[in-house]
Amino acid sequence: VQDWRITLAWDGRRFCGWQRQPNVVTIQQVVEESLAAVLGGASVTVTASGRTDAGVHALAQVASFQTDVPRSPVAIRNGLNFHLPPEIVCLDASHAPPDFNARAWSRSKLYRYRILAHPVRCPFRDGKVWHIKKKLDVRAMAEAVKPLEGAHDFSSFRASGCTAAHARRFIVSATVTSVDSDEIHMEFVGNGFLRHQVRVMAGTLVQVGLGRFTPARIATILAARDRCEAGRTAPAAGLWLVRVETGDGPINPRPPQ
Amino acid sequence: VQDWRITLAWDGRRFCGWQRQPNVVTIQQVVEESLAAVLGGASVTVTASGRTDAGVHALAQVASFQTDVPRSPVAIRNGLNFHLPPEIVCLDASHAPPDFNARAWSRSKLYRYRILAHPVRCPFRDGKVWHIKKKLDVRAMAEAVKPLEGAHDFSSFRASGCTAAHARRFIVSATVTSVDSDEIHMEFVGNGFLRHQVRVMAGTLVQVGLGRFTPARIATILAARDRCEAGRTAPAAGLWLVRVETGDGPINPRPPQ
């Protein structure tokens, strides 16, 4: 059996997120169906480094699968791109080390939240940014984001329906910058994020940018461990999974039996 | 009567170019209908700095109109954006000097032709770039573009159906550069361009990039004044009107009567 690593990009507008669900179209389902076509009908399970919400975009998601059907890396990549709909693309396919699992081997992810900060909408960025017409104080947002770096209990920034066992996560880097004169990017690097965590952090930082919260209030909200203290969840449309780094083995290996 | 200057951006995929035509939807028609709604039903003619082909995009087209209906600049801009479809936006509206005419006052235009040079397609740039999977020699293209600068008879680079009285045009600047690791941009600044001129130049430069034409052949093609010597017309999807500069009066003023 061969382990494979594939890198996928997608425009998430038309899909109900990554994970297979009944009665809706998801990225996982479409990728698995396309891959089955490439593998001559053999059904296959594709594991991504993590789930993404409906409407979220990916520039380079990493995923893994196993198959005993012999195919070259170029045949996998080009075959997938032939079968995938226009909104999804396989950027790369390569042989992976034995037992490679994109979820278990994932070490860090970079998420970018894009805001279009301009009085008028942009015909080229519909569904790809959160459009905010009011002026945002980027310096205040850049100051406010810093207390989110490090290991914290992010209970204040998780979706009410989040099912993770605990809310402790580690953010390696959190930044807010102006880009190309009309965008503001909030970028977060970490091993894993809670459900809606990046979007709740983004929505709360926008409150700072609008002058409704002081930058210092972010630390207070974090300490409260109460979702009601934070701002609204920012729309999925502005969220981009930019990069995934994988290590050389699973992060929580099963103990030898 | 008040003269107005508006700046428009659009995604051209769904439209049959700027100019009104029977039985198809054009940018001019949609902008004029939206403007009429803003002006309480008064019909109005909008003049752009030039026509653009079906499928061509604009980042900042300049257009003009006259009306005696009193409106503030913000009311014109926001009203247009309320009525325009998502693919078209008014970036700015302002009072213009008397008799301002975007076509007659236009001094220079910057057109950008975008190529996605990558073995796989991109889900975010469908219809916005010309996707070429083969390797292109950007240095050869950058060398080849230089003879196009200056005043020349561009008969070799005009559409066979072009109705301009003569083919002499002046290109102030012509460049080919690599951008963001996977795009190649060909940029042309000039006062006016013949029908399909930028697209024929782009298509011919791609032949150089593919190694089918030598860089020196561009000068030979230019001297031939024969459309059959040049390469194919590049697809409209890659062409962007980036910027228009207007002067302080018409470039060919009518002689005083």
At A60-71, the pLDDT tens digits run: 999 999 999 999
B171-190 pLDDT, tens digit each = 999 999 999 989 999 999 99
Q: Least CA distance to A86: which residue of chain B?
A: B123
Segment A139-143 shows an average pLDDT of 98
Segment B43-55 shows an average pLDDT of 94
Q: Which residues of A are less than 8 Å from B87 in CB distance?
A: 123
* β A168-179/A150-153 pair status: antiparallel
* A255 has a pLDDT exceeding 80: no
Q: How many CB pairs under 8 A join A and B?
A: 44
- Residues in A lying within 8 Å of B, measured between beta carbons: 9-11, 57, 77, 81, 86-91, 120-124, 126, 128
* A114 has a pLDDT exceeding 80: yes
- pLDDT band (50, 70, 90) for residue A92: very high
Q: What is the CA radius of gyration of chain A?
A: 19
Q: Least CA distance to A7: which residue of chain B?
A: B120
Bigger pLDDT: A257 vs A13: A13
* B252 has a pLDDT exceeding 70: no
Q: Tell me, what's the pLDDT at B163?
A: 83
- Mean residue pLDDT of chain B comes to 94
The encoded tokens of residue A182 equal 């009309």
Q: Flag if A121 and B11 touch (Cβ within 8 Å).
A: no
Closest Cβ–Cβ partner in B88, B89, B120 for A91: B120
Q: Tell me, what's the pLDDT at B161?
A: 81
Q: Which residues of B are less than 8 Å from A11 in CB distance?
A: 123-124
Q: Tell me, what's the pLDDT at A256?
A: 52
Q: Least CA distance to B123: which residue of chain A?
A: A87
* A227 has a pLDDT exceeding 80: yes
Concatenating the DSSP letter of every residue in chain A gives -EEEEEEEEE-GGGS--SS--TTS--HHHHHHHHHHHHTTT-----EESS---TT-EEEEEEEEEEE-S---HHHHHHHHHHHS-TTEEEEEEEE--TT--TTTTEEEEEEEEEEEESSS--TT-TTTSEEE-S---HHHHHHHTGGGSEEEE-GGGS-TT---S--EEEEEEEEEEEETTTEEEEEEEES---TTHHHHHHHHHHHHHTTSS-TTHHHHHHHHT-GGGS-PPPPGGGEEEEEEEE-SS-SSPPPP-
3-class state of residue B236 by DSSP:
helix
Measure B121 CA to nearest chain A CA, in Å: 7
A53 is catalytic: yes
- pLDDT band (50, 70, 90) for residue A218: very high
Q: Tell me, what's the pLDDT at B160?
A: 82
Please tell me the pTM assigned to this model.
0.90
CA A148 – CA B23 distance, rounded (Å) = 57
Dihedral of the CA atoms B243, B248, B251, B256 (nearest 10)? 160
Q: Tell me, what's the pLDDT at A249?
A: 87
Closest Cβ–Cβ partner in A11, A89, A128 for B120: A89
Q: Tell me, what's the pLDDT at A164?
A: 85
Q: Which residues of A are less than 8 Å from B10 in CB distance?
A: 123
CA B105 – CA A112 distance, rounded (Å) = 42
Q: Flag if A86 and B126 touch (Cβ within 8 Å).
A: yes
* B254 has a pLDDT exceeding 70: no
Closest Cβ–Cβ partner in A89, A120, A126 for B123: A89
Residue A189 φ then ψ, to 5°: -115, 130
Q: Tell me, what's the pLDDT at A253?
A: 56
H or E element that contains B203? helix B197-209
Q: Tell me, what's the pLDDT at A161?
A: 81
B209-240 pLDDT, tens digit each = 999 999 999 999 999 999 999 999 999 999 99
Measure A152 CA to nearest chain B CA, in Å: 35
Closest Cβ–Cβ partner in B9, B122, B124 for A123: B9
Q: Tell me, what's the pLDDT at A165?
A: 86
Bigger pLDDT: A256 vs A153: A153
CA B46 – CA B61 distance, rounded (Å) = 12
Percent of chain B with pLDDT over 70: 98
Bigger pLDDT: B43 vs A63: A63
Active-site entry in A53, A68, A126, A226: A53
* B48 has a pLDDT exceeding 70: yes
Q: Least CA distance to A84: which residue of chain B?
A: B123
3-class state of residue B151 by DSSP:
strand
Which of A84, A122, A125 best tests the B interface by mutation, with the highest count of B CBs <10 A?
A122
**DSSP code for B84:** S
- Residues in B lying within 8 Å of A, measured between beta carbons: 9-11, 57, 77, 81, 86-91, 120-124, 126, 128
* A257 has a pLDDT exceeding 80: no
Segment B197-203 shows an average pLDDT of 97
Which value does ipTM take for this structure? Answer: 0.85
Exposure string of A174-185, with b = 16+ CB inside 10 Å and e = fewer, is bebebeeeebbb
* B192 has a pLDDT exceeding 60: yes
Q: Tell me, what's the pLDDT at A254?
A: 54
Segment B237-244 shows an average pLDDT of 97
Q: Tell me, what's the pLDDT at B253?
A: 56
CA A131 – CA A112 distance, rounded (Å) = 15
* A123 has a pLDDT exceeding 90: yes
Q: Which residues of B are less than 8 Å from A91 in CB distance?
A: 120
Q: Of B69, B68, B67, B76, whose CA–CA distance to B94 is shortest?
A: B76
* Residue A16 Cα distances to A172, B50, B159, B171, angstroms: 29, 42, 45, 49
* B207 has a pLDDT exceeding 70: yes
Measure A79 CA to nearest chain B CA, in Å: 11
Q: Least CA distance to A118: which residue of chain B?
A: B91
Q: Flag if B120 and A86 touch (Cβ within 8 Å).
A: no
Q: Which residues of B are less than 8 Å from A90 in CB distance?
A: 120
* A102 has a pLDDT exceeding 90: yes
Task: Give B246's strand partners.
Answer: B106
Measure B92 CA to nearest chain A CA, in Å: 9
Percent of chain B with pLDDT over 90: 89
Measure B218 CA to nearest chain A CA, in Å: 34
